[in-house]
Amino acid sequence: GQQLNQSPQSMFIQEGEDVSMNCTSSSIFNTWLWYKQDPGEGPVLLIALYKAGELTSNGRLTAQFGITRKDSFLNISASIPSDVGIYFCAGQLIPSTGNQFYFGTGTSLTVIP
């Protein structure tokens, strides 16, 4: 299957700090998604990106679809304790059958009050 590399693998930050994480692939994707997963729960969609270069915000979250179509970035501004969780990127390939998405390995975020 496809490999999506997420970095960093884990982050420990102080409340109020900004966070940046990214996702890269050797393949070209036509859609990038960012999910957050809390312990014992399923992933929840945060942001969806559909065009190269697209920059989309959702509250304190901002994500960008890389120009090369091989990467995406997620930024969280002014982090708060409830931002704790694992963040996954997911991409849909070009070409694609069955609209299959590939998930990254996740970035674990810990926010220290």
Sites of contact with another protein (CB under 8 A): 1, 4, 31, 33, 40-45, 48, 50, 88, 90, 92, 97-106
Q: How many CB atoms lie within 10 A of CB 43?
A: 18
Nearer Cβ to another protein (48/77)? 48
Q: What is the Rg, in whole angstroms, of the alpha carbon atoms belonging to the chain?
A: 14
Nearer Cβ to another protein (59/113)? 59
What is the closest distance, in whole angstroms, from the C-beta atom of residue 32 to another protein in the complex? 10
Nearer Cβ to another protein (48/52)? 48
What is the closest distance, in whole angstroms, from the C-beta atom of residue 78 to another protein in the complex? 27
What is the closest distance, in whole angstroms, from the C-beta atom of residue 86 to another protein in the complex? 9
- Which residues are CB-neighbours of 98 under 8 A, at least 6 positions away? none
Per-residue b/e over 46-68, b at no fewer than 16 CB within 10 Å? Answer: bbbbeebeeebeeeebbbbbbee
